[in-house]
Amino acid sequence: MKQPELGLKIAELRKEKGLTQEELVDLCNISVRTIQRIETGEVTPRSYTVKTILAAMGHDLKDIREEKNSTLGKNKLLQLGWIFGIVYLLLGFLEGPMDFMRISEDLSGTSTYFFFPVEGYNQTFYLMIKLLVLGSFLFFFRGFVALGAIFRNPLLRISALLLMALMIFTITHEITSLFWNPVDPLLISMGISVAFGVLGIIFGISLIRLRKGLGSLCLVAGLLEISAGIFFLFLNPLGLPIQMLAGLFQVIIMYKAYPRPQKTSAQLA
């Protein structure tokens, strides 16, 4: 860890312990002036000096490095999250009409899809879009798993993971049902809609819990997600456009949160 990050981290740990610079000096026998220059980033201390200071506060240099790597990993997931969140929303403009046509064909009882036939280029396009939707959704919500870890919001992590699992099941069903469909597709679609409704409400509540750290935008996104979830529970198609609007706010939230871990580390340190 290099300066000024190292000095800021030492200052953060010292404040967490409730120590003044003079009290830290008494514990590690290093001059106050040296501590001050290290914390302000004026000098780069030797490894032995850093280990001595950290040991006096009950920490290890290895643990500090591992914590830094963990933070960088979470920040990367947040960056990928908001980028793929945009991709997911854009793909929705293609996926939505495709799903509507499929539902219309199922309700009419036809065996061949008018807009997406079982064979040919359109089917390949359909499969490609579905796989892209799945991939972008997983990266998007993996960002919420990381966000839940950063802000210590276990409900957000769990609900995001469950939504990821549900999306995998949904896309898998939609693809395999093109070729093999032993169960009434309408019945499965109803079950999926209800499952998304329940998890959407839980996910919305977890988003609202972020408002103390990320502002009122989380409250808006959470309420929209809860509203979409309620519509999904009653199999109301209005749930989809509301959820897409909620997704837009969620992308903004993740974009806003992306630089926050680095910024917070510098401010607290």
Q: Which residue spans of the chain are classified as CATH 1.10.260.40?
A: 5-59
d(CA 203, CA 3): 39
For the segment 255-264, the average pLDDT, to the nearest whole number, is 60
Task: Check pLDDT > 70 for residue 46.
Answer: yes
**pLDDT, position 32:** 87
d(CA 92, CA 89): 5
For the segment 97-115, the average pLDDT, to the nearest whole number, is 58
Inter-residue contact 140 to 90 (CB < 8 Å)? no
Q: For residue 97, which amino acid is it?
A: P
**pLDDT, position 103:** 64
Average pLDDT along the chain: 83
Q: How many CB atoms lie within 10 A of CB 238?
A: 13
Q: For residue range 78-87, what is the model confidence (pLDDT) as tens digits?
A: 999 999 999 9
Burial of 136 (0-12, 13-18, 19+ CB in 10 A): buried
Q: Give the pTM.
A: 0.69
- Token digits of residue 111: 């065996």
> Phi, psi (5° rounding) for residue 33?
-60, -40
d(CA 126, CA 26): 69
Higher pLDDT pick, 207 / 240: 207
CATH H-level superfamily of 5-59:
lambda repressor-like DNA-binding domains (1.10.260.40)
Percent of the residues in the chain that have a pLDDT greater than 70, as a whole number: 81
